[in-house]
Structure 1
């Protein structure tokens, strides 16, 4: 029974991270939320998401379908409850729709706000993501779960004897390479994906996920729980951060309690603050309210949307949100909210015009032998239009 991961209001509250993707395409732990469900249920998946995203993420309806809320991560209790559903049954956690089984005709008109036939309640706690900071806050829980899911009944590949491994929760996929580095798994598991590389002098304290085809450069220091997504390159000092894929933080500088989207680049010696000087609660810009909101967190760093970049020696204040396709540079601290498709820094911003955006993305994609096609161009243009009101210089 194919899976369809649907968006609810979390798609609005998770911006800018969800401007470019369905909620279930978010990475937390080792896998994306959609990949977790598909692996547990051993089936294919598609997305029921925002109309402007459907060109890139089309929904695929079959004769029988399971709709699952894309902001909720699977666990054994949820899997048992969903397997017990009959066609037409809906599972709720408090007032939130978790899952519903629908035949083809009802699936084509699915609305998460609709009323369903038989309602079942799920009383166990669930891990869900509703705000950008939930990604790094709950990454430790999901990294441990994904580690067990991916490594159960399997044996790690052998890595070089030049490394030091402390504890037992270490797993390397085939073709993972590491030399002259230390891996401390006593505080959390360490997972090295296929074709990943850990260069000499790196020190890791788990939990860590280094996904496939990614690299950790010489002398890097990483603290858990941290996820380095596929085809990333990182260096410097990283603490409790999630990088989704095709993103580079390849030089010295600190990144902590942060989330970076895809195709981001952090310039050399750039840093983010994750703790205010007066130790007070951190606030974050909220797209859904267009105001700063309280996070309840003392430690909260940088949230950066896809395709955004910063120049060398950039200093990000505690609790900074950078939108999609922004370019930040210059001396001083940029503001705590950098609008999507903006170009500048502490001295002010101007519009990052779409012709220039396309040129940059084309160059970045070509380095990975990818092509910026019309679907991606339209997606970026749609996001540009959606975010117009946040740019005072538009």
Structure 2
């Protein structure tokens, strides 16, 4: 039976195997006090480790007991559901037993399916990180090398060298920090929340492939949003797929019309949730290039996840003077994707895709809205597959 002091100090059988603290016989020297203090700290450390392991073992035992009780409760409920039919004999009793077994198996398969879903999401995250690293290395190697027969050089890099003008990547004065990424993400979320709650907006009132629009003018900028509910796919799954497209320079390029001759190149991979990129659009003759250096960041928000692509201040860039005679224009843009859980059990996802345009782009023309819709449909195709398919006769 442990004493009150032993219980308070977390005494365990491990103490019997630890070096004992010798009683103090005489005043201790400075070195002896230090040695005694080290021994005391060591005993305390191992005592806490042992207590922590004991608690972990108890948690595992309680979880196993909980699973056993849940299984027993499900079996009891299953048997109760067929208990109303009394005096089952012969084939009826066999069917009742089979029904109970199938109900129990159904519960086991449901739990197994949930575990496999979680594992699949983890594998998808790892694959996405590897893809981003490989793309960054391939594109960087391609920029610093001439024609190569190396199989590791991607088709994108080969195509860029052969059909598009060479790109001089701007550099940053100092690397972008996680603190700056977090600040940009939080500021964007505040602006998005204000826009979504604003009652002063206009809409076309139509639905195209399930997408509905909303926009409002704010000074010299037009804020817009398209929203749609996706059924049968969770918010986490859809946000992860969205990030695999938007967070990848190679796949992001596919969201833009080929007529814009887009190029998207990585500048800095801050971490798995933050990437700095360069985006360029060029005219068919290649004499004018519109470019942006922007941050793509992903963050968790109440009820879901937010992906933000926002131009960085040019003050963050090192002096940048293109070597060719091409006319370069800088473009500031802001686009975001917000995914939130919906449905009774969170089995569906409501997705909002929005951003900002300059007012001059929208005056007297709906072409910008059509191009925006095409970009959204390209995103949906890249994330979920074709929107419609041609059926064979």
Normalised to the residue count of structure 2, the TM-score between the two structures is 0.22
Instruction: Identify, as 1 or 2, the structure richer in helix.
Output: 2
Which gives a bigger RCO, structure 1 or 2 (Cα 8 Å, sep 6+)? 2
Normalised to the residue count of structure 1, the TM-score between the two structures is 0.22
Name which one, 1 or 2, has greater alpha-carbon Rg. 2
Instruction: Identify, as 1 or 2, the structure richer in strand.
Output: 1
